[in-house]
């Protein structure tokens, strides 16, 4: 009975969501409202307009200036992202807007809602967006796959405080009364609740603050029961910490900021959002809150000296530290599974994804564990010297070295991979991009070419990274026998590796093929075919369908090319597998064949693979990070 009711509610929710999206697609005003509410929802880890609405109502019961500045902040950061041509999916889902909302919260604590203050806020809001955009490219869309969270708002506010102080008291451009909150003034709540103290029904004197917090909690609960549980856990734990720690240690200083902006977000983030929820995650969350407490007390004493706010910095430091540690450890040993950013929705959906996609994959445990990392924290930031020396000895002992590379070798050049940056592909409906659909459906071809044009421009702008430089170094040492790459970007050739030694097993983006006459053309030459109407290019000679010379899902590999790749690898003395999770067949089986032939294998990847047990050495780092240190080491010997 309960399961039936649950399924019915989920069905109603899905239908309502679909209807709302259809309505929004027909109205610009509703699309803007949708972005605004999702931005508020993202503050509470929820891509949910109802959650955002409840947070907005709560703010309206607390402070009018907070509502004003947060709305302006969402508008500034979202419109700045739009005019700078950021990915629309991030704008629509409030990824940029939520930092604008947070920055508005913080700004309203220090500055009055005046024309001068609003002008300054708009200017600094643009800086928040620029900071967010830069951090996304570096942290989220590159090799790290780490969340930006509230870092932009937290670091821009202290800079803003210094800037405004200089404008008022040093430059003398504005009187302090035009900017600062004088005599503790704060805008009145937009929604005033009558006191219920004399009610015969309730006999409880509810305050505005209490009702606001109940609304926020209800908004979280509507989005996710697990998130609501984690929020309650964080609130209770944070409250107890504040009461237990002596006042002399700084517990009375900004206690509300610790509970509301650090303890609660840490609990929600660790228990279900950034790490798959489970029993071990529950206990790990307590460890995270303890670490957050230590950061908070340290920052209280450091920032207190200069009278600067630290805001959500303890939360950000805690989450990033936890995720970096967990990505350096074997999840099968710890039972703690970090969630890729592209998978993050609600904890309930994440659990389903994890059960269906991760648990069935069996791989051997790596030797790394949390306790070893804590004893040697330098491993979090750079490869171990012994590791580099061991890899060097293996390389120098081999005369002919083969490389099997995957998408991870190019993510550090800014090229998105399908699994780690699925949002790039999802907006084009990439799940439809099978070879059969490409042949049969013109709408699929149109969407595919729209995606391909953006992807090709990314490839043209991409620069080589230390992984490609290391391959060139091996070639210069006459040790490189071949590179079998699943990448289609041509970056190894761009680094100077002989194209004859590069086997592009999944094809190349730099050529197109006519599916009718089989003619190959240079990709850049067909750009002139595209115009405002035509998104499906055709062959100049026979008017056949053109397709990038890459392998689509459902399309067979070139058997002769695969046999050549396998032959070259089996003729080598060492196989280096790097930047691939070894999940796509038949390439994933190459290490098995090499191992049965007695060829030593080294695997370099950010996560364990299903072939770790075959490797003489597994190096748990992004390939570019490792090879940068390796090349530096080589120059010193």
Q: Write a three-state SS string for 456-498.
A: HHHHHHCCCCHHHHHHHHHHHCCCEEEEEECCCCCHHHHCCCC
196, exposed or middle or buried, with CB in 10 Å at 0-12, 13-18, 19+? Answer: middle
Q: How many Å from the N-terminal Cα to the C-terminal Cα in the chain? A: 71
Sequence-separated (6 or more) residues with CB below 8 Å from residue 12 = none
Q: Cα angle vertex 335, ends 329, 337, to 5°?
A: 65
Q: Which of 357, 326, 453, 470 is nearest to 405 (CA)?
A: 470
Q: What is the DSSP letter of 601?
A: E
Q: Report the alpha-carbon distance of residue 24 to residue 246 in Å, rounded.
A: 52
Give rounded-to-5 percent helix, strand, coil for the chain: 60, 10, 30
Which tokens sit at 427?
A: 């907006």
DSSP 133-178: HHHIIIIISSSS----TTHHHHHHHHHHHHHHHIIIIIS--S-GGG
560, exposed or middle or buried, with CB in 10 Å at 0-12, 13-18, 19+? Answer: exposed
Task: Given the residues 506, 510, 524, 633, select the one marked as catalytic.
Answer: 506
Quick check: is 510 catalytic? no
Which tokens sit at 604?
A: 């370099």
Which tokens sit at 148?
A: 């930006």
Q: Cα angle vertex 291, ends 38, 249, to 5°?
A: 110
Cβ neighbours, 10 Å, residue 221: 16
Which tokens sit at 326?
A: 């967990």
Sequence-separated (6 or more) residues with CB below 8 Å from residue 27 = none
Q: Which of 142, 77, 17 is nearest to 408 (CA)?
A: 142
Which tokens sit at 293?
A: 């407490």
Rg (CA), the chain: 27
Query: Distances from the Cα of 390 to the Cαs of 385, 393, 600, 618, 630, in angstroms?
Result: 9, 5, 13, 11, 11
Task: Give, to the nearest 10 degrees, the angle between helix 115-135 and helix 64-83.
Answer: 50
Q: What region, left, alpha or beta, does residue 324 occupy, with left being phi > 0 and alpha being psi -120 to 50 degrees? A: alpha
Give the total residue count for the chain.
637
Sign of CA dihedral 240, 246, 247, 253: negative
Catalytic residues: 506
């Amino acid at each position: 009975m309960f399961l039936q009711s649950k399924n019915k509610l989920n069905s109603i929710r899905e239908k309502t969501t679909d209807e709302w999206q259809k309505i929004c697609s027909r109205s610009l005003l509703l699309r803007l409202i949708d972005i605004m509410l999702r931005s508020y929802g993202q503050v509470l880890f929820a891509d949910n307009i109802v959650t955002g609405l409840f947070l907005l109502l709560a703010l309206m019961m607390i402070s009018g200036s907070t509502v004003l500045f947060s709305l302006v902040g969402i508008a500034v950061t979202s419109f700045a992202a739009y005019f700078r041509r950021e990915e629309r999916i991030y704008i629509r889902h409030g990824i940029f807007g939520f930092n604008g909302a947070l920055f508005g919260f913080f700004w309203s604590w220090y500055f009055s809602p005046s024309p001068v203050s609003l002008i300054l806020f708009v200017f600094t809001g643009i800086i928040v967006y620029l900071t967010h955009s830069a951090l996304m490219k570096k942290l989220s869309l590159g090799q790290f796959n780490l969340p930006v969270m509230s870092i932009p708002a937290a670091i821009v506010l202290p800079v803003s405080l210094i800037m405004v102080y200089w404008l008022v008291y040093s430059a003398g451009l504005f009187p302090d009364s035009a900017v600062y909150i004088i005599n503790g003034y704060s805008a009145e709540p937009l929604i005033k609740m009558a006191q219920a103290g004399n009610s015969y029904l309730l006999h409880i004197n509810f305050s505005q603050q209490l009702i606001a917090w109940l609304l926020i909690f209800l908004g979280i609960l509507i989005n996710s029961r697990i998130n609501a549980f984690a929020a309650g856990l964080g609130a209770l734990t944070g409250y107890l910490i504040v009461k237990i720690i002596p006042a002399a240690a700084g517990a009375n200083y900004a206690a509300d900021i610790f509970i509301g902006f650090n303890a609660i977000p840490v609990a929600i983030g660790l228990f279900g959002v950034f790490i798959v929820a489970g029993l071990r995650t529950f206990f790990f969350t307590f460890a995270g809150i303890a670490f957050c407490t230590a950061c908070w007390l340290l920052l209280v004493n450091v920032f207190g000296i200069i009278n600067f706010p630290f805001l959500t910095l303890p939360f950000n430091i805690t989450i990033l530290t936890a995720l970096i540690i967990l990505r350096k450890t074997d999840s099968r040993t710890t039972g703690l599974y970090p969630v890729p950013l592209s998978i993050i929705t609600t904890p309930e959906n994440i659990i389903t994804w994890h059960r269906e996609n991760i648990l069935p994959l069996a791989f051997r445990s790596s030797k790394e564990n949390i306790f070893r990392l804590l004893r040697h924290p330098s491993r979090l930031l750079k490869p171990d010297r012994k590791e580099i020396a061991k890899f060097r000895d293996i390389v120098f002992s081999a005369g002919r070295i083969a490389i099997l590379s995957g998408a991870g070798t190019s993510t550090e050049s800014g090229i998105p991979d399908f699994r780690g940056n699925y949002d790039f592909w999802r907006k084009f409906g990439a799940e439809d991009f099978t070879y059969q659909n490409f042949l049969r459906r013109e709408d699929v071809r149109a969407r595919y070419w729209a995606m391909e044009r953006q992807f090709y421009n990314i490839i043209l702008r991409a620069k080589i990274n230390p992984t490609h430089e290391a391959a060139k170094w091996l070639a210069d040492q006459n040790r490189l026998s071949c590179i079998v790459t699943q990448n289609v970007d041509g970056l190894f050739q761009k680094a100077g590796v002989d194209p004859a030694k590069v086997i592009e097993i999944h094809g190349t983006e730099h050529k197109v093929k006519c599916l009718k006459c089989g003619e190959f053309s240079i990709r850049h030459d067909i750009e002139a075919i595209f115009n405002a109407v035509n998104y499906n290019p055709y062959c100049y000679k026979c008017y056949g369908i053109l397709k990038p010379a890459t392998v689509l899902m459902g399309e067979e590999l070139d058997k002769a090319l695969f046999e050549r790749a396998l032959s070259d690898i089996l003729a080598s003395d060492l196989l280096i597998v790097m930047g691939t999770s070894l999940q796509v067949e038949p390439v994933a089986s190459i290490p098995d064949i090499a191992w049965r032939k007695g060829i030593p294998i080294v695997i370099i990847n950010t996560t364990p693979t299903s072939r770790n047990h075959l490797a003489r050495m597994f190096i748990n780092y992004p390939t570019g990070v490792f090879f940068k240190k390796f090349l530096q080491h080589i120059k010193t010997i």
